[in-house]
């Protein structure tokens, strides 16, 4: 077998295998135990967006001072977040205390390659000209008349 042909075929195989791969991205959201309801909603929205995109989310709760003596507050917050986004993802790593932080990892139900293959928010783009769809059905003389009237209107506006 020709060595050049062998190298070319192996390069083609490597290229094809890279095409089907997706890198796992872990996004991180940081919270505090005492969080305002609006701020919690904003953070939850970020987590939902990351999960819809097919990324894993690492949720970190940072404890300060006296908050470290009440880790159950952080655990309750993480469980609430997990129940709020359970239709988009599942808990990969249960809440675990790590020094001053409590960490939980949520993974998406769909893989990243599936979300790229079937984007949910694709809408057909309408034509910028509404008459573009009807041009084939109009007779040629009506189209010419429309062009003439537009030309006359611009000529009148230029003289005024």
pLDDT in tens, 91-122: 998 999 989 999 999 999 877 666 666 655 55
Q: pTM for this structure?
A: 0.59
Can you give the pLDDT at residue 28? 93
Other CB atoms within a 10 A radius of the CB of residue 47 amount to 21
Nearest to 29 by CA among 90, 96, 81, 65: 81
Can you give the pLDDT at residue 41? 93
Residue 83's SS3 state is helix
Can you give the pLDDT at residue 115? 63
- List CB contacts of 158: < 8 A, sequence separation 6 or more: none
Can you give the pLDDT at residue 20? 77
Phi-psi region of 145 (alpha: psi -120 to 50; beta: other; left: phi over 0): alpha
Backbone angles phi, psi at 129, to 5 degrees: -105, 120
Local mean pLDDT, 10-residue blocks, the chain (160 residues): 89 86 85 93 93 92 92 93 91 91 91 63 60 52 51 50
CATH of the domain spanning 23-117, picked from 1.10.1370.30, 3.30.110.10, 3.30.70.360, 3.40.120.10? 3.30.110.10
Task: Name the residue ranges covered by the structural domains of the chain.
Answer: 23-117, 130-159
* Alpha carbons 31 and 79: distance in angstroms, whole number: 13
């Amino acid at each position: 077998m020709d060595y050049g042909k062998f190298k070319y075929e192996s390069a083609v195989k490597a290229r094809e295998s890279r095409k089907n791969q997706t890198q796992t991205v872990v996004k991180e959201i940081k919270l505090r135990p005492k969080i305002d309801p609006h701020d919690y909603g904003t953070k939850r929205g970020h987590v939902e967006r990351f999960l819809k995109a097919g990324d894993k989310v690492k949720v970190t709760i940072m404890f300060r001072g006296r908050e470290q003596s009440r880790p159950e507050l952080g655990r309750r917050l993480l469980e609430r977040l997990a129940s709020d986004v359970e239709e988009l993802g599942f808990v990969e790593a249960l809440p675990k205390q790590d020094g001053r932080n409590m960490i939980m990892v949520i993974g998406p139900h769909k893989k990243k390659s599936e979300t790229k293959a079937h984007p949910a928010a694709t809408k057909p783009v309408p034509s910028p000209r509404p008459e573009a769809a009807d041009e084939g059905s109009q007779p040629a003389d009506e189209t010419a008349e429309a062009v003439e009237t537009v030309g006359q209107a611009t000529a009148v506006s230029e003289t005024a």
